A and B are shown apart, each in its own frame.
Chain A
Amino acid sequence: MVSDKKGEITSTQIVMIVLAIAGFAIVLYLFFFLDFGEMGKRETCHLSVLTRGTVAGAVGGSQSLVPLECITDKICITDSLFGKCSNQFAGEKDITVVRLSGGVEEKRIKIEEISANAMYDCWNMMGQGKIDIFGNFYTENGLESNQATCVVCSRIALDESVIVDILNKVSVNEYMRTHNIPGKEITYLQAFTDKGINSYAQVSATPGGIENFQKKLEGEDKIAVEGAKSEAVVKDKVNRELAFVFMQVRTDEKKSTEGILKNIGLTGATAAGATFMMPVIGNMGSALYALAGGIVLGTAKEIYGAFNAYESQITAAGYCGAFQSAKEGHWEGCSVVNSVNYDFKAINSICKVIQGNP
């Protein structure tokens, strides 16, 4: 019997081949070309934070193998049609430009909204301070532990077109006290502390008031902060770029953060258990970006944290206590989100190590 085996492709086979190639093409397209934008970056960062925290708790887990996929958001606020913060972002990519519109009040509110969201998003993205992100990274890399490690979540720059009259009216603290987080029933202040909290503690913006505040913060474990203070940058001009920085410090093994929380409480901070917002320095209506200078508390072996005093007029929010993903041995530490002048001396004086992709 002779069988004819000429190689005909059946219609079914043709359809299957076409479907296979089309499916592969769609997967490639989704992979390379779809840009999920800011939401995608935040979720990617958050996922890497969770992964790091999980690795920290795992037996033999190595945090340094898990990179933090946290890319600094760059936001340019401009009051002109063509402004793009070229002074701050020259040559940089992936800038989000926000053009202000309306009157002075509308513009002020917009700046406050962007700043408040930047701070809140940073806090959430980094696990609200409760995940041990940097813990065994130090020992794995032969570094001294208990160093303040930071991730720069975002940079907000103000174009020259945004006039000082608007900046002088900006008060992010007041915005966070009075406005609800989009899609939620609580204010930013309540989200950082507790649903029942509606006001900030305040510290007098006089040299004596601030010095007194600093002393209470340092408490009995007074550490040598002179070195850190000498790094302070004093400016008398309008600062047009802020960085929202997440900072975390771990205490020595089995050392409690109870003392630190007590010191924070002594300053009159708005506290709710282990979470807190630092007192507001001076007048609630103080300018956001036109700030005078900074005295920054440094870190040390007895570490309890690094908090800026009046570096920025935006109060800092934080958490001190046990880290949720800690390995056995009850690791504790403090996490803080705050705003800092985007200046290398200011940031380096509080951040000994920087991770993520600034």
Chain B
Amino acid sequence: MNKRGDLLNNILGVVIAVIGILVIFGGAYMLYQKYVNQESEKAKNTIDVLEAKINAIEVGQSTEALVRGLPGWFVAGWGKAITTKPDKCFLSICLCICKGSAVQEADKVKVCQNNGFCRKIAGDDNFDADTIVFLRDNFYSVTIKKVEGEISLKENE
């Protein structure tokens, strides 16, 4: 009996099964992102807004950003020349949003390395960034300014 090519008879079933598995896993991942990972998504949104605002302005310009606070998180930044910063920043100007305490500089670096989202900012400028500790769940205002050789990010009181 020649049983060559049995697989070909079942190929349709295999294709549909693979597609179905991909859809199920994809859907489960999206549900996880949406419902279980809400806080992380909000944190990423906040840091993305700040990064976009920094990149949108030219030297000599400033802009204000309103971001929603996330109690338990803080925003911190490091310039290119700073060596003590999260490894994920590597050798760049870096802005991070991190979950945890920001009392000491060493704490900030460790917390951001382990539990933060960082964005690299292009350029060689100094980066003078306030550490913004989110204590409440409404708006925080930040002024971002670019002058020759420096980017500053200051929390407005």
Contact = CB atoms under 8 A, between A and B. Distances in A.
A354 B68 CA distance: 7
A26 interface: no
A21 interface: yes
A116 interface: no
Contacts of B42: 357
B139 interface: yes
Contacts of B19: 20-21, 24
B49 to A, nearest CB: 7
A2 B52 contact: no
Given A352-B136, A352-B138, A3 B49 contact: no
Interface string A319-358: 0000000000000000000000011110110011110011
Interface string A236-261: 00000000000000000000000000
Nearest to A243: B66
A7 B56 contact: no
Contacts of B63: 87, 90-91
Contacts of B3: 5
B38 A344 contact: no
B11 A5 contact: no
A224 interface: no
B5 A16 contact: no
Interface in A79-93: 86-87, 90-93
A5 B137 contact: no
Interface of chain B: mostly helix, strand, loop or mixed: helix
A59 interface: no
Nearest to A350: B138
B138 A7 contact: no
Given A351-B138, A354-B139, A91 B34 contact: no
A6 B5 contact: yes
Contact of B8 (A8, A343, A344): A8
Interface residues of B, number: 37
Contacts of B38: 67
Contacts of B1: 2-3, 5
A23 to B, nearest CB: 9
A344 B140 contact: yes
A353 B49 contact: no
Contacts, number: 95
Interface string A1-26: 01111111100010011001100100
B66 A342 contact: yes
Contacts of A34: none
Interface in B131-146: 136-141
Contact of A13 (B11, B56, B57, B138): B11
A17 B12 contact: yes
A348 B138 contact: yes
B25 interface: no
A289 to B, nearest CB: 17
Contacts of A4: 2
A92 B108 CA distance: 28
Given A348-B139, A352-B138, A354-B137, A20 B6 contact: no
A358 B139 contact: yes
Contact of A344 (B7, B52, B54, B156): B156
B53 interface: yes
B29 interface: no
Nearest to B20: A24
B139 A91 contact: no
16 contacts: A3-B1, A3-B2, A5-B3, A8-B5, A8-B8, A17-B12, A90-B56, A90-B63, A91-B65, A344-B139, A344-B156, A348-B136, A348-B139, A352-B136, A353-B138, A357-B42
